[in-house]
Amino acid sequence: MSRRLRIPPIPSSEITAESAYISRRAFMRSAALLATPLAAGVGSPLLAAEARSGMALRYADAAAGPAGFNTDEAQTPFEDVASYGNFYEFGTDKSDPARYAGQMTVDPWSVEVDGAVGKPGKLNLEDILAVFDLEERIYRLRCVEAWSMVVPWVGFPLGDLLQRFEPQSSARFVEFRTLYRREEMPGTRSFTSIIDWPYREGLRMDEAMHPLTLIAVGLYGRTLPNQNGAPLRLVVPWKYGFKSIKSIVKIRLLERQPATSWQSLAPREYGFYANVNPEVDHPRWSQRYERRLPSSLLRPNRVPTRMFNGYAEQVAGLYKGMDLSRLY
Ligand SMILES: Nc1nc2c(c(=O)[nH]1)N[C@H]1C(S)=C(S)[C@@H](COP(=O)(O)O)O[C@H]1N2
Ligand SMILES: [Mo]
């Protein structure tokens, strides 16, 4: 038996998501060494993602969260979460965010909150991290393109943040905007760029105040990789991924429903609500199934898509009486 292939025993008490991550990383490195030409190209964005993996956060354990909020499904490995995604500010390829988002300056950072609030103002990132109690939330994230992941986010309820600015009773919607900095965002300079920057999203006030709706500042116990929306992003687990806007700099409370990026671009394909719904197909593809990452040609890992992405028990009540095939 070859010594090199021996795997050191790990006491079961130490088998955590983090140690699984480290051992898989070590495996990927050795795989890259074995198959140089191809793996080098595939491996480099991953190594870049590792170099940017953030600072350790202090947070309450997922198990302490409200029942039903945390899934015990297999978590998508860190490498997949950090290397495959959408962040059009950096390009439209799934690997562009990991390749280019390192250029984005995330320190200093502040979020401005205004509109229909009693106390408009700005919070800087240090204050946000000091003021709000962080907790882990293990959520499914389902992209409208029919791939999905399970991510252990670290964050706090969006409602906690909004409360501090004293929403007025006239506030019925919330609008979010992403940083727009052309010199650091090659996707916004591209001739093929189709979005009217900055990227915008919105929620109805009751959706924004729902306890599932999270502002994430980290994943896998550490601050967010830039490509996943550092330093803070929205996570709305029962809606298609495009609602979960990244790298937020501005939040505005409004009386009217805001125009949002994907809805403005293709209103027949992407609605304002964008609730995950296997019964309502996208005009160009079925929404009945999804590819759960990690997914490959040989192991597509196809799973059925669930109503409200599996959060119907918590959120179906928000949409009572609404025709969800019309208000998709
Ligand atoms: N600013 C901004 N936010 C964004 C996007 C984007 O292109 N720009 N893409 C959205 C889409 S389509 C998805 S599926 C998720 C992906 O999040 P992830 O890369 O962390 O998995 O981010 C969403 N947030
Ligand atoms: Mo998406």
- Residue 187 CB less than 6 A away from ligand 1: no
pLDDT by 10-residue block (mean), the chain, 328 residues: 36 31 34 32 44 82 75 96 98 98 98 98 96 97 98 98 98 99 97 94 98 98 98 98 99 98 97 98 98 95 98 97 97
State both tokens at 297.
């040609």
State both tokens at 66.
């409200």
79: in domain: yes
Its pTM stands at: 0.85
325: in domain: no
The pLDDT value recorded for residue 57 is 96
- C-alpha distances (whole Å) from 1 to each of 9, 33, 74, 129, 212 are 16, 21, 32, 50, 50
* CATH of residue 187: 3.90.420.10
263: in domain: yes
112: in domain: yes
The pLDDT value recorded for residue 66 is 61
The pLDDT value recorded for residue 255 is 98
For residue 240, give the nearest of 203, 286, 268, 277 by alpha carbon. 277
7: in domain: no
Domain limits for position 244: 12-319
Exposed e or buried b for every residue in 260-272, given b needs 16+ CB within 10 A? bbbbeeeeeebbb
Q: Please, which residues have CB within 8 angstroms of residue 49's CB and are 6 or more apart in sequence? A: 79, 82, 83, 98, 225, 227
186: in domain: yes
Could you tell me the distance, in angstroms and rounded to a whole number, from the CA of residue 244 to the centre of ligand 1?
A: 6
The pLDDT value recorded for residue 139 is 98
- Residue 242 CB less than 6 A away from ligand 1: yes
The pLDDT value recorded for residue 192 is 86
Exposed e or buried b for every residue in 242-252, given b needs 16+ CB within 10 A? bbbbbbbbbbb
User: Which numbered atom of ligand 1 lies nearest the CA of 84?
Assistant: 19
4: in domain: no
80: in domain: yes
State both tokens at 301.
């890992």
Q: What DSSP state is assigned to residue 65?
A: S
Number of structural domains, the chain? 1
Protein residues within 5 Å, CB atom, of ion ligand 2? 86, 143, 241-242
- Strands 214-219 and 222-223: what pairing? antiparallel
- C-alpha distances (whole Å) from 116 to each of 170, 175, 261 are 7, 11, 22
